[in-house]
Structure 1
Amino acid sequence: MKRILVGFIMDGKAGGVDRYLLNFLDAVKDQDVQIDFLTDGVHEELKTYLVQYHCGLYPIASLRHPVRQYQQVCAVLKQNPYDMVYLNVSTAIDCIAAFAAKKMGVKERAIHSHSSGNDCESTIQRLVYNVVHGICKTFFYKAGTRFYGCSVKAGEWIFPKKIVQSEKFEVIYNAVDWDRFQYKEEVRRKVRKELGIEDHQLVIGHIGNFCYQKNYPFLIELLSAIHRKEKDTLFLLVGTGVELEEIRDMVKKKGLTDCVRFLGWRADADRLYQAMDLFVLPSRFEGLPIVGVEAQCAKLPCVFSDTITREAKIQKHCYFLPLTDSVEKWADFILEHSRYDRTQVELMEEAKKYDLDRQKEQLRRIVCH
């Protein structure tokens, strides 16, 4: 049996990386492998979920304590010899575990990039992190033997171009279950009724963690501009995060309390997409947003910031606007493209890259390399 140590999972529902790792686990469960995880702390709900897969869960120190993290990863690898480590990271700063694995003689060391920027709330901290990331990027790849990214852009964020352009690098797109997210008129009517949404109301939706990366101040300014132009509009904001209370206050100050719904973290995003008329994602950066792929599978028109890679486009009603454009221009564009017959929408050929069955084949190749 091949033993694989995977990092880093949070609580199993923290975002796209956690979702990807659980998909990975499900895809390889019938292979002859033992999967264990590195985590920032033991979350009981996740621990209970992983029992069915017989997975171990090892809490390690955060990057604020690099020496301790290095020592702890070395200790885990010494106690339980692994054939492979598979590290899923967002910045090159997160290189400690990879070098610990190299030090401990783990032969296969795969590194997977899931972002294209540093998500820090503090401007000063972000500048510092960007500098440190740039330095770590020059040597991080030396700790790996195989390299992956959720997009080419994500790969270029962490690895030198010579790696991304080599046979050692492979893109693994953030796949979704197409059947689960297919547009269903009866589900739309049911969810809108549950949420008290009238048939005539225009519903603009957004799903994401409330953090710097997702650009919420711009989003709220945009929603305010849309509301000034079209009063009969409702906005659904789904997710939690460090900026949540700050954004709630901003909504109050803008006088949008009656037309903005904060739905919190939801396990039924597939149903919520049905209730929306348009999905908006004005992120400052993304590796490749899985919510964007899900929304398009649900036949929603989507408006993304142009910082998001064009690899995310899988249907023709997906548009990219510059963040340098005014919110007024965004609002006008959104209102012009917010209503059309979703039953007539067809996914492009590129959508096959995000098929869950196809991704399962890629994930199995990771463990059977």
Structure 2
Amino acid sequence: MSQGEPIRVAQVVGKMLGGGVEAVVMNYYRHIDRSKVQFDFLVDADSTLVPRDEIESLGGRVFEIPPYQHVAEYQRELQRLFKQEGWKIVHSHINALSVFPLRSAKKAGVPVRIAHSHSTSGKGEYAKNALKAVLKTQSNRYPTHRFACSQFAGEWLFGKAAHFEVVYNAIDLDRFRFNAEARAQARADLGLVGNQFAIGHVGRFTAQKNHTFLIDIFTEVAKRRDDAVLLLVGTGEAGASVKALVDERGLTDRVKFLGQRSDVDRLYQAFDAFVLPSLYEGLGLVGVEAQVSGLPCLLSDAITREVDVTGECKFLSIDSPVVWADEIDSLLPYSYEGRLSISSGQFADYNIELQGKQLTYKYLDLYSRN
């Protein structure tokens, strides 16, 4: 690095598919001091949604590497890149799989190697959980520093006795604050009429997000209330099977598949309630976003209580859709008067303006000491 140039940090993000982790990294990239710190993104070649134009416009670079499923080739290419580019900091965001890039980074002599836990594990994903269990035994072997999106996620990957730092999945709070005009426009754009009760969910169509159970919940809700509609934001491999289930239940006209969206902040405005029945989450950042929007939030009891910033979230068992339907049935359509009262101070840990500055300082400090 020449004098006056920003330091460059290699961000290992795995597959960029429009999911939560890469959104978090991009959000930090937009809000760090890029005159002092720049990001280079190492992404799997089979990624489908790489924001290359934005990254390059901000001063970053994108390096495509073999998919991590090809472990030997993946590690060889990473080791070659780490030596070629000379990054002093490698920050890996791929949870238990961070063993592989950080092993390559250590072999290449990278002095600062950060493992970042964004997730955990949950019931039902037996093969995936078995692999995670094996990789976790090596999770403290290669990193020099450990970050996690929550205490829960950090203890899951690194162990309760390990030292790690919680780096919050921060957001632009102003984007998500409730706005009555934005609500009216968003509902009109979605074709919602009058006081239709809009139940919202944001998440990729994967087993983790438990969409089948969500459809079970809505099937029960639909029997009770004619005004209810379900809005699903996201894409993924399970999308087709979820649509088939909706058709099978006769709910096609009452469930809207909104796809991958860049205006999720506007969609929260249209919702009357937010549901997240995930099998597991490292944190469940969408739950934080929904709270900033003032929405009542019904969350799986498998999700850490750390997500409950307002103290108003309800955590429900993912064994009984009737329990969820009972809670939803007790809610009324929300006008702007009905939204929860939110204060900025409550969400200071998630304020990207503050957290972006802190991450900038962290990188500069780590760089200066190595």
- Fold match, TM over 0.5? yes
Q: CA deviation at 1:255?
A: 0.6
Runs of 5+ consecutive residues of structure 1 not aligned to the other structure: none
Amino acid at match of 2:157: I
Number of the residue aligned with 1:7: 12
Size of the aligned set, in residue pairs, is 357
Cα pair 1:305 1:323 within 8 Å, conserved: yes
- Are residue 22 (structure 1) and residue 26 (structure 2) matched? yes
* Structure-1 residue corresponding to 2:74: 69
Counterpart position of 1:105: 109
Task: Please tell me whether the aligned partners of residues 14 and 68 of structure 2 are also in contact (alpha carbons under 8 angstroms).
Answer: no
Where in structure 2 are the equivalents of 1:51-66 lying within 5 Å?
51-66=56-71
Change (3 A) 1:87 1:187: same
CA-to-aligned-CA distance 1:24-58 (integer Å, 9 cap, x gap): 22233434234211101276862222111232212
Q: For residues 352 and 29 of structure 1, do their structure 2 counterparts lie closer, same or farther at Cα, with a shift above 3 Å needed?
A: closer
SS of the equivalent of 1:25 reads helix
| Secondary structure at 2:355 match in 1 | helix
Q: 2:361 aligns with which of 356, 361, 365?
A: 365
Query: SS of 1:258's equivalent?
Result: helix
The SS at the match of 1:368 is helix
The equivalent residue for 2:143 is 144
Give the counterpart letter for 1:46 in structure 2. P
Structure 1 Cα separation of the partners of residues 155 and 209 of structure 2: 20
Q: Distance in 2 between matches of 1:181 and 1:198?
A: 23
Cα deviation digits, residues 165-193 of structure 1 (max 9, x gap): x3xx1111211111111111111111112
Please state how far the C-alpha of 1:158 moved relative to its aligned partner. 1.3
1:258 to 224, 249, 253: 253
- Give the secondary structure class of the aligned counterpart of 2:69: coil
Corresponding position: 1:356 with 2:352: yes
Question: Paired residue for 2:40?
Answer: 36
Write out the 4+ residue segments of structure 1 that deviate beyond 6 Å after TM superposition.
none
Normalised by the length of structure 2, the TM-score is: 0.91
Cα gap change, 1:309 to 1:231, in 2 (>3 Å): same
SS of the equivalent of 2:93 reads strand
Q: How does 1:173-252 map to 2 (within 5 A)?
A: 173-252=168-247
**How far apart, in 2, do the equivalents of 1:343 and 1:33 lie?**
38
- Structure 1: how far apart are the matches of 2:56 and 2:188? 37
Q: Deviations over 1:302-342 (max 9, x none)?
A: 10001111111122432111112x21121011121344533
Decide whether aligned partners of structure 1 residues 356 and 60 sit closer, same or farther in structure 2, where only a CA change above 3 A counts: same
Offset of residue 118 of structure 1: 6.9
CA distance in 2, matches of 1:34, 1:295: 30
CA contact (8 A) 1:29 1:53 kept: no
Alpha-carbon separation, structure 2, partners of 1:16 and 1:207 = 10
Q: CA shift at 1:201, angstroms?
A: 1.1
Kept in 2, the 8 Å contact 1:9–1:37? The answer is: no
Answer with 335-344 or 309-318: which moved more: 335-344
- Change beyond 3 A, Cα 1:38–1:302: same
Please say if residues 316 and 323 of structure 2, whose CA atoms lie closer than 8 Å, have aligned partners that are also in contact: no
Q: Identify if the C-alpha distance between structure 1 residues 161 and 317 changes in structure 2 by more than 3 Å, giving closer, same or farther.
A: closer
Distance in structure 1 (CA, Å) of the matches to 2:155 and 2:332: 34
Identity of matched residues, % = 36
Q: TM-score, normalised by structure 1?
A: 0.91
CA distance in structure 2 between the aligned counterparts of 1:296 and 1:143, rounded to whole angstroms: 36
Partner of 2:368: none
> 1:35 & 1:186 partners in 2: Cα distance?
36
**2:295–2:340 CA contact under 8 A, matched in 1:** no
Q: Residue 158 of structure 1 corresponds to which residue in structure 2?
A: 157
- Counterpart in the other structure of 1:129: 128
Match of 1:171 in 2: 166
Query: 129-138 vs 334-343, which deviates more?
Result: 334-343
State how far apart, in whole Å, the 2-side matches of 1:31 and 1:162 are. 37
